[in-house]
Amino acid sequence: MQIEVEAIELGDKDFFEIRDYVKQRFGISMGDEKRTLIYSRLRPLLRDRGYDGFEDFLEWVRNDKSGEAQTLLASRLTTNHTFFMRESEHFDMLNSLVFPWIEQEFGREKDLRLWCAGCSSGEEAYTLQILAQEYFEHKGGWNLEILATDISEKVLAQSYQGVYSKESLSVVPDSWLKKYFNAYDATNMIVKDSVKKNVTFRRYNLMEEKMPFKKPFQVIFCRNVMIYFDAPTREAMARRFANVLTKGGFLFIGHSESLSNLDVGLGYVRPAVYKR
């Protein structure tokens, strides 16, 4: 028998336990104002899974060894809203300052090491890859593979597919559309394989204390992700980012975010941009 989803209530005990679990497992802080969001996003999941209450649902999440439950929980509670060329001044800075610095400092090894952390549905990662190809493609022999990670397998699957609505591509230059995208159907376009092959999408939880990277990055983009975390968590995460940045490397965060007054080994460059 299908559970009547309207009959399910989110009591104080269940809310507090879900909130504490999400904070402990994913580092995401959700105050009392997020109660309605938690309820509205999780109750369809309870219905689909046949649970008649949040207590049984949370028990499944805690005890599931496959990781499926935790992935579903994270996917439902994190907002994935992005589009191509979002906060374009950061991309202008890449072209005018960061890529020339990389070309000068790493011209011998010709290895671009860029990480798009919290890549969501892939628009930012593909924007970064296209920018890199535009800048380096005629400079001879550069490795332009970049890493893109997210905790949600759902958005990673969407990213890997690379299909986007024409509306989300409205600010992309026509020359890019012709060079880097193909028509998919009447309302969507798909990223060409020449771009896809250089972007590696992986599932990764930014709360992991040890970052499993063999070589440091020259650039890390982690924009509009830290807004979910409290100050101590942001500080610990930023310090881990600093530890995997090469000397002189850049961290880009969202314009609504800040690392001011945090001792993380990064210096302020301009709003939402820091340098090791």
- 133-157 exposure pattern, b = at least 16 Cβ within 10 A, e = fewer: bbbbeeeeebebebbbbbbbbebbe
Q: What is the DSSP string of 217-270?
A: EEEEE--S-GGGS-HHHHHHHHHHHHHTEEEEEEEE--TT---TT--SS-EEEE
- Clarify whether 86 is annotated catalytic: no
- Cβ–Cβ contacts within 10 Å for residue 197, how many? 11
- 78 contacts 40 by C-beta, under 8 angstroms: no
- 143 contacts 112 by C-beta, under 8 angstroms: yes
CA separation, residue 23 to residues 19, 194, 230 (Å)? 6, 39, 9
For 72, the 3-state DSSP assignment is helix
- 45 contacts 72 by C-beta, under 8 angstroms: yes
- Clarify whether 150 is annotated catalytic: yes
Q: C-alpha 254: how far from its chain's center? A: 11
The helix (run of H) or strand (run of E) holding residue 274 is strand 273-275
Q: What is the DSSP string of 183-219?
A: E-SSSEEEE-HHHHTTEEEEE--TT-SS---SS-EEE
Catalytically annotated residue among 43, 113, 150, 234: 150
The residues, ordered by sequence, that sit 6+ positions from 123 with a Cβ below 8 Å of its Cβ are 82, 83, 84, 86, 164, 168
Catalytically annotated residue among 25, 41, 86, 239: 41
- Which residues are catalytically annotated? 41, 150
